[in-house]
Amino acid sequence: MKKNIAQDAQLYKRKNEHLHIVATQSVLHSRGTLLNDIQLLHQALPELDINDIDLSVEFFDKKLKAPLMITSMTGGAEHARKLNFALAEAAQTYGIVLGVGSQRVMIQHSELANDFKVRAQIPDGVLLGNIGAVQLPEYSPDVIKELVDSIEADGICVHLNAAQELMQAEGHRDFRNILDAIARLMDKLDGRILVKETGAGMSEETLLKLKSIGVHYLDVSGAGGTSWTKVEACRAANSKLKKLGEAFGDWGVPTAFSIIAARKIFGDNAGIVGSGGISTGLDAAKAIVAGADIAGFARPALMAFLDSGADGVSALIESFIDELKTAMLLTGSKDIPALQHASRVYTGELKDWLGSSKCCGAAK
């Protein structure tokens, strides 16, 4: 169903406001990711050559050079085309995953598909589309499959953003039947779905629901990075919504706990992306130690692009890789499976979260 011109203009305005606020305002979670409560044990005798460390992993049945993902951040905004193309080229160069921004705008405006068609820039890599979970009840699985096929993606990210929607005057208020809609889309796409949060993390209850429908890939996108409730508070014209956004500014399940819970609940039966406040290669290493297969980041890539274009994004990824490899050598980890089993100590608030957990109290 086509939206009218006024509604389209409102969508574009919102997307551009989001990018501007994320880049210029103080919208990070105050608590942080709790990744700093994961203490990696230094190995003074690693018996490794850093040049022999293997960063490769498999994801969506393809081999990656490094366990990193540039996660979804924009869709239908004025920067979308240049940003998507720059990120795709970087993802191809460094052999990492790219998720494009929300393709919802393509449903209403097929002429904007070219903003998302970056397969030529990432011919060998993992490319994922994107749609909001709240849109799934509105559109048939065939429509969503067309979004995947139209950009030759390997699958699609289905993003959960209930907290953000509630802070928007134009946002959804009805979140019923979403799990069933995800299950139907799973069937249509043969499981090629990555279910992701958008900065509020995943509780044990949410993870169990996703496991019950056979989800194979998930991105916990925990609290600790960009707070979309704070972003919406910044753009709210309505004083009531502004106050609501501020009250829930630090809402969410921290990244570190979300990752540990996801691995505990899914075991080896899921590809887990740990994102939400990942700003360095050391953060990425800690996310992997906690149980992630891949560490994801968005805001650092956006800031690098806005500051220095494609060269800035390349420099950022190289820094992530250098820091990740350094952490691996200093923990005696020759490859990613070894890093996932590296010695660690959980401290501080994270230890409290784990101690109160239904499933993760014995996490080690």
The string of pLDDT tens digits covering residues 289-339 is 999 999 999 999 999 999 999 999 999 999 999 999 999 999 999 999 999
Q: Is the pLDDT of residue 239 over 60?
A: yes
Residue with tokens 């993802």: 91
pLDDT value for 195: 98
pLDDT value for 2: 44
pLDDT value for 170: 86
pLDDT in tens, 157-211: 999 999 999 999 889 999 999 999 999 999 999 999 999 999 999 999 999 999 9
Q: Look over the chain and give the mean of its residue pLDDT values, rounded to a whole number.
A: 92
pLDDT value for 112: 82
Q: Which of 300, 296, 255, 330 is nearest to 57 (CA)?
A: 296
Given the DSSP bridges, would you call strands 62-64 and 57-59 parallel, antiparallel or unpaired?
A: antiparallel
The average pLDDT across 5-15 equals 54
pLDDT value for 73: 78
Residue 43, H or E segment: none
Q: Classify residue 251 by its DSSP letter.
A: -
Indicate the burial class of 44 (C-beta count within 10 angstroms; 0-12, 13-18, 19 or more).
exposed
* Whole-angstrom Cα Rg for the chain: 19
pLDDT value for 74: 61
Q: Is the pLDDT of residue 6 over 60?
A: no
User: What is d(CA 357, CA 344) in angstroms, rounded to the nearest whole number?
Assistant: 19
Q: Which domains does the chain have, with CATH numbers?
A: 17-355 (3.20.20.70)
User: What is d(CA 73, CA 233) in angstroms, rounded to the nearest whole number?
Assistant: 18
Under 8 Å between Cβ of 339 and 333: yes
The average pLDDT across 79-96 equals 92
Angle at 349 between CA 344 and CA 355, to 5 degrees: 75
The average pLDDT across 6-33 equals 72
pLDDT value for 44: 98
pLDDT in tens, 265-288: 999 999 999 999 999 999 999 999
pLDDT in tens, 101-158: 999 988 888 888 888 999 999 999 999 999 999 999 999 999 999 999 999 999 999 9
